[in-house]
Chains A and B, each alone.
Chain A
């Protein structure tokens, strides 16, 4: 895939992250603003209760691939820029990152869906 396409996805993932992380911050870290007690937000019953709601299922399912892609593409850029490696090794690094990212995505999606289904 062209580097510009990967870069475009990186930018789009960044924009998505801004939105869904906004929701995350609003609920988890700025809870006092909404009149919710911080301790209550982090309790097991609250976490499992949120996981069972359709809204959070969508938020987490959007957040997971966006965060994974944005982070792993950034990591790939760092590795490429800070190491003296050739094209062959770069291809292998890209493959490893795609494989590990897919693994995290499947495992994370399983956890989110399992949490939703209870």
Chain B
């Protein structure tokens, strides 16, 4: 792999590549249009680097979102050659540079300006599924006396879904979202499963309000494009199918979930020599 990248870079570094960027300024343009820019590739250049180079050297009015530049914040997701990708993680040499590289804002989102999508409805959908632990013992949540016990096996059930960075790539790839803008979307539904599958949570019933509506989970027909697009390796379509199962179990009265109890500190055990002390308690002081 490393040898492949070195070979590619040897071939492409210094080569001039054309980028076709979608431009749209709502205050003066009637419709979006493409504008071409040519830049020389440098070693390790990502699509985001290329956009920054264009903004610095050719057109300072170019708008796009970015923050961490290391695949963590999820700000820089765009359509690169028709596929939703994190531009900070997409090497230009991975793409076919013989043709112009086309960069658009994420599909299925309204455009705010140039490459900036409007994420408000997306974030509203995420908020609607109550993305936090809900418990019947609200007093313990408000004034915690300890930590809830959760085994590694219970953690495994939802861990991959907790890796979501809310970049919106899944929504841009979703065929249901393309025809039904009211659809809750794979991100919100997978996030709902992340909390429903959490052994500390008891909020399934509260989340049904958003999830089990006419634009909710049962509009998903399992195309799986969201899982293909996710840059963090999350499998939202799996989460959606598992959530469907949880909802059906709940509807037929087969969902029995005991909330995770408070973790008990073992007593009477002697610490072995050389083992460092645990960090100070953060709750229940």
A binds B: yes
Which A residues have a C-beta under 8 Å from some C-beta of B? 2-8, 11, 77, 80-84, 86-87, 90
Given A8-B252, A80-B219 in contact, is the A3-B213 Cβ separation under 8 Å?
A: yes
Surface stretch bound by A, among B20-28, B118-126, B155-163, B174-182: B174-182
The CA-CA distance from A84 to B181 in the complex, in Å, is 8
The CA-CA distance from A14 to B49 in the complex, in Å, is 52
Given A2-B208, A8-B252, A77-B219 in contact, is the A90-B214 Cβ separation under 8 Å?
A: yes
Instruction: Using C-beta atoms within 8 Å of the partner chain, give the interface range for chain B.
Output: 20 to 34
Is B95 in contact with chain A by the CB < 8 A criterion?
no
Residues from chain B with a CB closer than 8 A to the CB of A11 are 248
Residues from chain B with a CB closer than 8 A to the CB of A82 are 179
Q: Main SS of the interface on chain A?
A: helix
Which B residues have a C-beta under 8 Å from some C-beta of A? 176, 179-182, 208, 212-219, 221, 244, 247-248, 250-252
Report how many A-B pairs have Cβ atoms within 8 Å: 48
The CA-CA distance from A3 to B244 in the complex, in Å, is 11
Q: Are B214 and A80 in contact (CB under 8 A)?
A: yes
Q: Are A84 and B180 in contact (CB under 8 A)?
A: yes
Residues from chain A with a CB closer than 8 A to the CB of B215 are 87
Task: Tell which of B213, B219, B251 touches A5, judged by Cβ atoms closer than 8 Å.
Answer: B251
Residues from chain B with a CB closer than 8 A to the CB of A90 are 214
Given A80-B214, A81-B219, A81-B221 in contact, is the A4-B248 Cβ separation under 8 Å?
A: yes
